[in-house]
A = this chain, B = another copy of it.
């Protein structure tokens, strides 16, 4: 399912042809960063690097792609011919996936011959933006419902196939328990979960018949959906079924609520199940959930063991995009600065240093030029050199553990779902001086 290299903006190719004609291809450094945090976000979580490295490793023009470019009539023969051997030969430095980060901090830098670093802009942004967006949303759900089963339910309203897969990955990275999307299980090794749809209940002559048949098909593992007709009556049917199954040693795993007042229904259902001799049956809830609803449900003490969180998580519905950029910061050894109104950038190749107090809590970051050495731990690390991976790419499990551990080091107040006192990010004096010098010169 690798998209074509032509999944790029036309201007990348037109600029490449111009560079080709001009013979311009010195080393360029581009950085990806986020200009501002969306409303209610106190931090973001870096994600998407694994897919970026896969993309860069496999970057090439296939014959049918070159043919199409030729037939488009937009490009010179000579330029198209030059694309035949096109490969990514550059360096990548990046924050590991799962690292919390803040405004203006680059999470990835590509240093490569200009044409390579330019062409990859569109897809690198497309990947980093989306996975970072979803990981940053999903971790809020995990913070709102700690120690609950959290399952990505969002395939149907994700924005297309890749959004479904990458949001399953990004939410798992951020602490979800797994996904309902089978292909996410196959592709990323993410645990997959499933229940049943209303249609299953409706297709049967009765709800009782549907429940009985499903439990026969998945003894010990059945999750029964109980809101198709009447929740209380369905819960009684589940309890009755559990009692008839008990002598055979067959258990019902759980029930799912997907509509109505989830907290109130969960209490009613818990009472019916407990009174009906089925206290081991768990309650799972879904339907329009996000971190705010999770916080309220968990806070209310509702007896819900797990949640299916879909649409609002994997579209990041309250903030469906990030104000991110991939900007040229240095060309041919000279730092560059864009000064467009409201979109000025910090020039040069940069590094982020994070300082910790004695108890391991992050105290603040310093954004500085690479080569400076303030106190703290550098967050950008070499991940690709000369087009080859620098060491092993961490597994998804390792990145997930890194996200969890990194969160523990963040000041606790940043975990709030509403705006908190900002985490301190300092712009180093040398960097400020460079920006001033470039502004004066242009």
List A residues at the B interface (Cβ < 8 Å). 1-4, 6-15, 17-19, 21-22, 24, 28, 30, 65, 68, 72, 114, 118, 121-123, 125-127, 129-130, 133, 153, 155-167, 180-183, 185-186, 192-200, 202-204, 213-214, 216-218, 227-230, 258-261, 311-312, 315-317, 320-322, 324, 326-328, 331, 336-343, 442
Q: Does the CB pair A9–B328 fall under 8 Å?
A: no
Q: How many angstroms from the CA of A181 to the CA of B4 in the assembled complex?
A: 11
Least distance between A53 CB and chain B CB atoms (Å): 16
Known A10-B192, A159-B130: A3·B183 in contact at CB below 8 Å = yes
Q: How many angstroms from the CA of A78 to the CA of B6 in the assembled complex?
A: 42
Q: How many angstroms from the CA of A216 to the CA of B14 in the assembled complex?
A: 12
Q: Does the CB pair B10–A193 fall under 8 Å?
A: yes
Least distance between A325 CB and chain B CB atoms (Å): 9
Q: Does the CB pair B182–A13 fall under 8 Å?
A: yes
Question: Which interface residue of A161, A180, A328, A336 has the most chain B CB atoms within 10 A?
Answer: A161
- A-B contact list, 15 entries, CB within 8 Å: A1-B3, A4-B183, A6-B183, A8-B155, A9-B194, A15-B200, A18-B213, A65-B186, A122-B181, A130-B160, A160-B162, A163-B163, A229-B442, A315-B315, A316-B320
Least distance between A282 CB and chain B CB atoms (Å): 16
Q: How many copies does the complex hold?
A: 2
Q: How many angstroms from the CA of A17 to the CA of B194 in the assembled complex?
A: 13
B-chain residues with CB within 8 Å of residue A129 when the two chains form the complex: 156-157
